[in-house]
Amino acid sequence: MRIQEWSTDCYGCEADLNDADGIEQALRRGADAVSATVLGQSCTQYQPIGVTVFLPLAESHLMVSTWPEHRYAIVSILLCNAGMDPALVLDEVLKQLRPSRARTHRVPHEIAPASEHAEALSLQS
């Protein structure tokens, strides 16, 4: 099975990048857009500015980290359900951040077939 991890650099963000609640709500809208199951949330407010908002999902995770002094944010999306479209999540987050430019890096991951997984487990024993 193939899945993708998306990491998006957001430049020239017009949003308040210290607004952890707004960012969390955008991540939740993104999770809803792909019918992901949110298991919790974590937020770190940095001093003097910046936040990281993290949502663990039953299907992996969503995260945004911000650097307000540079009007910059990174969006990290990892969905372990190949039927879920990361673009739908990203759209919701970009609506919140309002970057003038965004660049997405897509990292493909291939989950080993069951026979390879069983072989790897036996090697660990």
Q: Which domains does the chain possess?
A: 2-124 (3.60.90.10)
31, containing H or E segment: helix 20-33
pTM of the model: 0.87
Q: Which residue has the higher pLDDT, 70 or 121?
A: 70
* pLDDT, the chain, mean: 92
Is 116's pLDDT higher than 60? no
The strand pair at 72-79 and 60-67 is best described as: antiparallel
pLDDT in tens, 78-99: 999 988 999 999 999 999 999 9
Name the amino acid, one letter, at 115.
S
Question: So what's the pLDDT on residue 112?
Answer: 72
Question: So what's the pLDDT on residue 14?
Answer: 98
Confidence of residue 2 (pLDDT cuts 50, 70, 90): confident
What is the dihedral angle through the alpha carbons of 83, 35, 42, 103, rounded to the nearest 10 degrees? 50
Mean pLDDT score, 40-62? 97
**pLDDT above 90 as % of the chain:** 80
Mean pLDDT score, 56-66? 97
Is 104's pLDDT higher than 90? yes
Is 120's pLDDT higher than 60? no
Spatial contact of 77 and 94, defined as CB atoms under 8 Å apart:
no
